[in-house]
Amino acid sequence: EVQLVESGGGLVKPGGSLRLSCAASGFTFSSYSMNWVRQAPGKGLEWVSSISSSSSYIYYADSVKGRFTISRDNAKNSLYLQMNSLRAEDTAVYYCARARTTTVTTGNSDYWGQGTLVTVSS
Amino acid sequence: AIRMTQSPSSFSASTGDRVTITCRASQGISSYLAWYQQKPGKAPKLLIYAASTLQSGVPSRFSGSGSGTDFTLTISCLQSEDFATYYCQQYYSYPPYTFGQGTKLEIK
């Protein structure tokens, strides 16, 4: 069974940093690109970042470029999102999601974690 | 960036109804369109990809159609568990992989 479990969320002050983790199991993690998607309270879904299976291709939304860094450790079946210079507008539930196909890096995701809440507030 | 616009933003329907949600892309995206269902407090669930391919395990009352810029999600006979918010997403041109603003389907 595919499982994605996020951790690392919490309350942080504006300008602070946080590192999210996503532990994957039930599939060959190293074969799939992975995505981070967020959802602000009461709002819609926003794609944040994607990373290819071998980390060769990395993409970011303009809203986080230069502040967030996506990475992965295939030996540990883990995905990460390092978030720096956090702003109030980064407050959201952050979901880790698996790309639907192994053939290309894609934002189309078939399995999602339960999400972890990041709150940026003084 | 490609903009995805869903309509309506919300509406009410009854169990047994046939409902259609529309998603329009600001430029052509071929068939690189997915639909997700999200219930309160839960992660999104993939329903349809490639505009019309049903994800494994999704009931056949869900169907998708369209290509280019105009797409639809149809639920043929609404069940109580279908009341949720639905999102379309394009994955043709990236970054970003843009989502529509969502359509909230409520019980009449």
How many C-beta neighbours within 10 Å does residue A69 have? 16
Tokens representing residue B83 in the block: 């009341």
Using the beta-carbon criterion (under 8 Å), do A100 and B46 form an inter-chain contact? yes
Query: Smallest CA–CA separation between B42 and chain A, in Å?
Result: 7
A114 in helix, strand or coil? coil
- Give dist(CA A12, CA A15) in Å, integer: 8
Q: What is the pLDDT of residue B6?
A: 98
Q: What is the pLDDT of residue A53?
A: 95
- Give dist(CA A117, CA A95) in Å, integer: 9
Q: Is the pLDDT of residue B108 over 90?
A: no
Using the beta-carbon criterion (under 8 Å), do A47 and B95 form an inter-chain contact? yes
**What is the rounded average pLDDT of the residues B91-98?**
92
Contact status of B89 with chain A (Cβ, < 8 Å): yes
| pLDDT tens sequence across A85-98 | 999 999 999 999 99
**What is the rounded average pLDDT of the residues B65-81?**
97
Instruction: For chain A, give the percent of residues with pLDDT over 90.
Output: 94
Q: Where do we find the tokens 């329009």?
A: B24
pLDDT band at A102 (very low <50, low <70, confident <90, very high): confident
The three state secondary structure string of chain B is CCCEEEECCEEEECCCCCEEEEEEECCCCCCCEEEEEECCCCCCEEEEECCCEECCCCCCCEEEEEECCEEEEEECCCCHHHCCEEEEEECCCCCCCCECCCEEEEEC
Q: What is the pLDDT of residue A58?
A: 95
- Cα-based distances in Å from A4 to A114, B22, B106: 8, 30, 29
pLDDT band at A105 (very low <50, low <70, confident <90, very high): confident
pLDDT band at B39 (very low <50, low <70, confident <90, very high): very high
Contact status of A44 with chain B (Cβ, < 8 Å): yes
Using the beta-carbon criterion (under 8 Å), do B89 and A44 form an inter-chain contact? no
Please state the φ and ψ torsions of residue B41, each to the nearest 5 degrees: 75, 5
Using the beta-carbon criterion (under 8 Å), do B101 and A44 form an inter-chain contact? yes
Q: What is the pLDDT of residue A22?
A: 98
* Chain A residue at shortest CA distance from B54: A110
Using the beta-carbon criterion (under 8 Å), do B45 and A112 form an inter-chain contact? yes
**What is the rounded average pLDDT of the residues B75-92?**
96
**What is the rounded average pLDDT of the residues B70-89?**
97
- Give dist(CA B21, CA B30) in Å, integer: 18
Interface of A with B in 60-99 (CB under 8 A): 60-62, 95
pLDDT band at B30 (very low <50, low <70, confident <90, very high): very high
Using the beta-carbon criterion (under 8 Å), do A45 and B43 form an inter-chain contact? no
Q: What is the pLDDT of residue B14?
A: 95
Chain B residues with beta carbon closer than 8 angstroms to that of A51: none
Q: Is the pLDDT of residue A106 over 90?
A: no
**Residue B85 C-alpha from the chain's centroid:** 9
A89 in helix, strand or coil? helix
- Residues forming a β-bridge with B1: none
Contact B97, B88 (CB under 8 A): no
Instruction: For chain B, give the percent of residues with pLDDT over 90.
Output: 95
